[in-house]
Structure 1
Amino acid sequence: MTSQTEPTPEDVVHAAQALHALTAIPDTSMQWSNTADPTQWTALHTIEHISDALLFYSSQVARRAQVRLPVLRDGREAPASEHIDNVLSAAHVLAALLRDLGDQRAFHPSGTADAAGWAGMAVTEILVHGTDAARAVGMFLRFPEISCARTVSRVFPWIDTSLGSPPELLLAVTGRTVVAGVHSDPDWWWQSAPLTEWNGLPARRDVKPGWS
C-alpha cells in the first residue's frame, strides 16, 4: 500500500489542476503551435500527450496488465482548453483506479509498478510535459510542492533532496532545468517498482519511447 511519504492518487489530481493556468492562453492563439522543447511536439500536442499517457496508465492499471497494451486515443482534433480539461478528467480516472489497486501491481516498461509508482510517473508526466507546453506559450506553472516531494523521493530515489526545492529537482532530473549536483540524463527513467526492489542505481531507459 502507498505510505504517506509516497505519491498518492490525490497527487495526480493536484498535478493536473496545476495545468489550469494554461487556459489563460486563448484557443485561437498561434502560441499553441510553438514547439514545446525539448520535445519535437507543438504545445497543443504536448498537452494532448499528457491525457494520452494518463489514459494509457489507466488501462494498464484497470486490467492489471502484464504486458504493454495499445494506447487509448480518439484521434479527434480539439482546442487547447478541451485538451487541458481532458488531462484533469484522465487524472481523476487514474486516481480512482489507483485507489482500488491495493497491493496489486501492473506492467509499465520501466517496471511492474505499484500504486505509488504509477502516481509518481503520472505526476512527472503531467508537470514535466506541462512545463514544456507552458514555456512554449510563455506561461509559468505553479507546482504542488508536496506532490513533487513525494514523487522525487519515490520514482527518483537516487536524487539528493537537499540540493533544491522539489519542483526544481523534478525538472532537473528530467532535463528541464539545471540544479548543481543533479545529473540530467537524456535517458532518464523511473524507479516504478517498489523501492524494496531498487538496485541503488539511477534508472535509465532501455527501450524506445512508445509515443509520437
Structure 2
Amino acid sequence: MSRSAETGPSPTPVTADDLELAVQLAVAVLRKAPPAAWEGRAGSLEWDCWETAEHLSDDLFAYAAQLGPTTPPLEGEVPFVWESRRPGGPANAIHANREAGPAGLLQVLEASGALLVAMVRTTPPRTRAYHGFGVSDPEGFAAMGIVETLVHTHDLAQGLGLAWHPPADLCARVLARLFPAAPDSTDPWPTLLWATGRAELPGRSRLTTWRWDGTPRT
C-alpha cells in the first residue's frame, strides 16, 4: 500500500520545529568528523564532503529566499547567481570560507538552516512560491529542507565514516508530505533513502530517477 491510498486521518503537518530538529541533529553528528575527512567523496555523490555540506547550506538558503519576497515568484527562482567552484562541482550561491575550517563550514550550514526555519515560522501558510518539483507552501519548503538535510547528511556520514539514523517519525512526516506514493509498510528511514535514489527496498530496486511532489495537500 502507498500513502496515496490511505483513508485514515491526515498526516501530522511538517513544522519549523521539525526542520530545526533535523538541522541540529545533522550538525551535531557532522561535528564528530575528523578535519581531514572533509576532502573525501560524499557517499555515492560526485562531490567531496565539503562541497556537499555547502550544497546543503545552499539548498536551505535558497528555500528561505523563495519565501522571502512580499510576492514570492511562482514561475522561477529568486535570481541569485549560482556558480560552481570547479567543473562538476555543485552550483551554489552559498560558499563557506575554507580558512574557517570545518567548524566554520558547519556554522554556515546551521545559519542557512536557521534562515529557513525563521521563514517557515513567519510566512503565512497560504503563501505559495516556486520550486521545480511543484509550487509549494511554507510547510512544503520545510519538508523539502528536511529531506535535503536528512539525505545529504546520509551522504556525508558515508564519506566521513559517521553513523546517522534520523528519527523515524520525522522521516514518516516528510514522506507523507512529499512522497505520498511511497510504500508505508517499510521503515520510514530506509524508505526515504529509497525514495531519493539512495537505497533498495525489499522487492523494489534502487531508483535511478526520482522527484518529490511539493504541491500543497489542501
Show the counterpart of 1:91.
113
Asked if 1:34 corresponds to 2:55, the answer is no
Report the Cα distance in structure 2 between the residues aligned to 1:177 and 1:82, rounded to whole angstroms.
31
**Other structure's SS at 2:25 match:** helix
Asked if 1:82 corresponds to 2:104, the answer is yes
Residues matched between the structures, number:
191
Asked if 1:178 corresponds to 2:204, the answer is no
- Single out whichever of 47-56 and 187-196 deviates more from structure 2: 187-196
**Rg larger for:** 2
Show the counterpart of 1:152.
175
Show the counterpart of 1:50.
56
Amino acid at match of 2:73: A
**Other structure's SS at 1:107 match:** coil
Shift of 1:55: 0.4
Tell me, yes or no, if the aligned pair for 1:18 and 1:144 is still in contact at 8 Å: no
Report the Cα distance in structure 2 between the residues aligned to 1:172 and 1:81, rounded to whole angstroms.
31
What's the % identity of the aligned pairs? 30
**Other structure's SS at 1:112 match:** coil
Tell me, yes or no, if the aligned pair for 1:113 and 1:193 is still in contact at 8 Å: yes
Note the 1:93-132 alignment, pairs <5 A.
93-101=115-123, 102-132=125-155
Alpha-carbon distance change, 43 to 115 in structure 1, aligned in 2, over 3 angstroms: same
Report the Cα distance in structure 2 between the residues aligned to 1:37 and 1:15, rounded to whole angstroms.
19
Amino acid at match of 1:44: W
Structure 1 residue ranges (4+ consecutive) displaced by more than 4 angstroms after TM superposition = none
Higher relative contact order (CA 8 A, sep 6+): 2
Tell me, yes or no, if the aligned pair for 1:98 and 1:115 is still in contact at 8 Å: yes
RMSD: 1.9
Amino acid at match of 1:180: P
Alpha-carbon distance change, 6 to 18 in structure 1, aligned in 2, over 3 angstroms: same
Shift of 1:115: 1.6
Tell me, yes or no, if the aligned pair for 1:6 and 1:153 is still in contact at 8 Å: no
Shift of 1:182: 4.4
Report the Cα distance in structure 2 between the residues aligned to 1:129 and 1:123, rounded to whole angstroms.
10
Asked if 1:7 corresponds to 2:14, the answer is yes
Show the counterpart of 2:31.
23
Once the two structures are superposed, residues 33-68 of structure 1 have per-residue CA deviations (whole angstroms, 9 ceiling, x without a partner) of: 111132110011111111111001111111222221
Shift of 1:4: 6.5
**Normalization by structure 2: what TM-score?**
0.80
- Structure 1: gaps of 5 or more residues: 197-212
Tell me, yes or no, if the aligned pair for 1:18 and 1:142 is still in contact at 8 Å: no
**Normalization by structure 1: what TM-score?**
0.83
Amino acid at match of 2:138: A
Tell me, yes or no, if the aligned pair for 2:54 and 2:96 is still in contact at 8 Å: no
Report the Cα distance in structure 2 between the residues aligned to 1:51 and 1:110, rounded to whole angstroms.
19
Tell me, yes or no, if the aligned pair for 2:29 and 2:164 is still in contact at 8 Å: yes
